[in-house]
Structure 1
Amino acid sequence: MPAKILFILVLASLAGCATVNSTVPDGGASSAATQSAQLAQEKAKQAEQRLAAVAGQRASAERQFCPNWQQALLRARNNAIGCARMPVNAQSTCWQAVAQWTNEESQYFHALQPLFAGSPYARPSGHAAHFFDLAQSWAMTCENGSEACTQANGHQQMDQEKIQVNHFCSH
Structure 2
Amino acid sequence: MAMRTGYLGPPGTFSEKALKLLKNKVTQKVWYSSFKDIARALIDGEIEGALFPLENSLSGKVLEVDAILKTLKEKLILIEEVFLPITPGLFSYSAQSLEEINVVLSRPELWQQCREYFKGRDHLRFIPALSSSQAAEKAKKIKGAAFIADLDYRNEAKVLELFLNGNRPSVTRFGLFKIL
Note whether the superposition's TM-score is higher than 0.5.
no
Q: Structure 1-normalised TM-score?
A: 0.22
Q: Structure 2-normalised TM-score?
A: 0.21
Q: Rg bigger for which structure?
A: 1
Q: When you count strand as a share of all residues, which structure comes out higher?
A: 2
Q: When you count helix as a share of all residues, which structure comes out higher?
A: 1
